[in-house]
Amino acid sequence: MINLSSIDVTNKNLVIRVDMNVPLKNGNILDATRIEACLPTIDYALKNNANILLISHLGRPTEGNFEEKFSLMPVANHLSKIIKKSCELIDTPNSDTIFNSNCQVQLLENIRFFHGEKTNSDELGYQLANLGDVYVFDAFGTAHREQASTHSAIKQSKVACAGLLLEKENNFLGKVLDNYENPYLAVIGGAKVSTKLELIKHINNVAENIIVGGGIANTFICAAGYQVGKSLIEDSMIDFAKEILNEGKILLPKKVITSDSFEGSNVKEKSIADIEDHEMILDLKIENETHTIINSAKTILWNGPMGVFENELFEDGTKTLSQAISNSSAFSIAGGGETLSAINKYINLDDVSYCSTGGGAFLEFMEGKILPSIKALNAKNTEE
């Protein structure tokens, strides 16, 4: 890829695809992490006296319709405060005011309001690609989607490059994917094996040990021949789990936290051999053996919690794991919304070597796939 840091953008008009898909409630931003992640690229452009048009999506509006609750106006207002410059919201990519106003920073209204975004329209892609001098793609969280602003616009632009965030993601995640040190430990949690199927397959080929948590752990516990009561499992994944277990890399918990309900009635700590029919597994215990493996690891990939950590009765597994990774000297990569929530709750972001901004994109990257946006950027480098 061509990187923004390697080209001259002085006094140029930059169209920057960012990911400012932040959670909102009554027009208020609940978590500005994704906006803050865009700042290095924005600051770099401003220092080079470039004009900026930002493009982002927000939520899932009906394409072609303006919906107030999905407007980027709160984002524009918040960004103005952070960068201490006015950020002008532009209603349409046809606007004559793009790069033609007193505002150095502009933000196009939610790209999903416009026909053709989700279908990777060549028409919309061409329109976006030709709004400025350089098309900068910096939205790693959307890099796995072939859409007009994440794919077609890159392909049709005169010059396209990766922003500073995408460059950073590519470098850090690539280190875990291709240039890792052993021992390699993977932590894979979440509700369903099926959503992490390709990741588990790939990681099973490279990691020495794999810690599983959540509903994924329940499925593996069941596959190992234990009763799991009313616990969430995927029957269709049992045979796959048995195959992976035979490789000897999965670390099954010896003890778990059970309850008769998600609310927390009759909560108990039990051996996995003692689960009763009316019980469900909602958390697991991090044992001394697991601590030892975490402490000796040189590389740690972490995606997903150990249990229903939103409830304090079932948070100990995720909390203990977070703290153990925090104290580890390993190069650690974390990704996924629930994982980042756990980090913010129990440790500091700086306690992990790198926290990815991607969810689905993070998973696909770590599965070894070349993401569509990155593939398009690589192709632009060949053209140049």
Q: What is the CATH number of the domain that holds 260?
A: 3.40.50.1260
pLDDT of the residue at 97: 87
Q: Identify whether residues 338 and 379 lie together within a single domain.
A: no
* pLDDT > 60? residue 263: yes
Query: Among all chains, which residue has been given the structure tokens 């070894």?
Result: 368
* pLDDT > 70? residue 384: no
Task: Classify residue 299: in a domain, yes or no.
Answer: yes
Characterise 280 by phi-psi region: left (phi > 0), alpha (psi -120 to 50), beta (else). beta
Give the residue-averaged pLDDT of 97-122: 95
* pLDDT > 80? residue 265: yes
Task: Classify residue 344: in a domain, yes or no.
Answer: yes
How far apart are the C-alpha atoms of 69 and 72, rounded to whole Å? Answer: 9
Give the residue-averaged pLDDT of 317-342: 95
* pLDDT > 90? residue 101: no
**3-class DSSP state of 324:** helix
CA angle 303, 365, 333 (to 5 degrees): 40
Q: Identify whether residues 203 and 333 lie together within a single domain.
A: yes
Q: What range does the domain containing 21 cover? A: 4-164+371-383
Give me the chain's average pLDDT, please: 95
Give the residue-averaged pLDDT of 34-63: 96
* pLDDT > 60? residue 32: yes
Q: Identify whether residues 119 and 214 lie together within a single domain.
A: no
Q: Identify whether residues 233 and 160 lie together within a single domain.
A: no
pLDDT more than 90, % of the chain: 91
Give the residue-averaged pLDDT of 208-219: 96
Q: Dihedral sign, CA of 238, 320, 181, 378?
A: positive
Q: Identify whether residues 195 and 252 lie together within a single domain.
A: yes
Q: Identify whether residues 193 and 155 lie together within a single domain.
A: no
* pLDDT > 90? residue 320: yes
Tell me the per-residue pLDDT of 156-178, one tens digit each, with 9 for 90 and over.
999 999 999 999 999 999 999 88
Q: How confident is the model at residue 228 (pLDDT cuts 50, 70, 90)?
A: very high
Q: Identify whether residues 158 and 186 lie together within a single domain.
A: no
pLDDT of the residue at 53: 98
Q: How confident is the model at residue 109 (pLDDT cuts 50, 70, 90)?
A: very high
Q: Identify whether residues 219 and 160 lie together within a single domain.
A: no
Task: Classify residue 174: in a domain, yes or no.
Answer: no
* pLDDT > 70? residue 383: no
* pLDDT > 90? residue 154: yes
Q: Identify whether residues 48 and 190 lie together within a single domain.
A: no
How far apart are the C-alpha atoms of 267 and 91, rounded to whole Å? Answer: 53
Q: Identify whether residues 100 and 52 lie together within a single domain.
A: yes
Q: Identify whether residues 159 and 184 lie together within a single domain.
A: no
Q: How many domains does the chain have?
A: 2
Task: Classify residue 362: in a domain, yes or no.
Answer: no
pLDDT of the residue at 267: 96
How far apart are the C-alpha atoms of 381 and 369, rounded to whole Å? Answer: 19
Q: Identify whether residues 303 and 330 lie together within a single domain.
A: yes
Joined together, the tokens standing for residue 20 give 């400012």
DSSP assignment of 262-303 equals: TT-SS-EEEEGGG--TT-EEEEE---HHHHHHHHH-SEEEEE
Please tell me the total number of residues recorded for the chain in this structure: 384
pLDDT of the residue at 95: 80
How far apart are the C-alpha atoms of 322 and 313, rounded to whole Å? Answer: 16
Active-site positions? 34, 192, 337, 360
* pLDDT > 80? residue 10: yes
pLDDT of the residue at 381: 76
Task: Classify residue 211: in a domain, yes or no.
Answer: yes
Task: Classify residue 221: in a domain, yes or no.
Answer: yes
Give the residue-averaged pLDDT of 264-290: 95
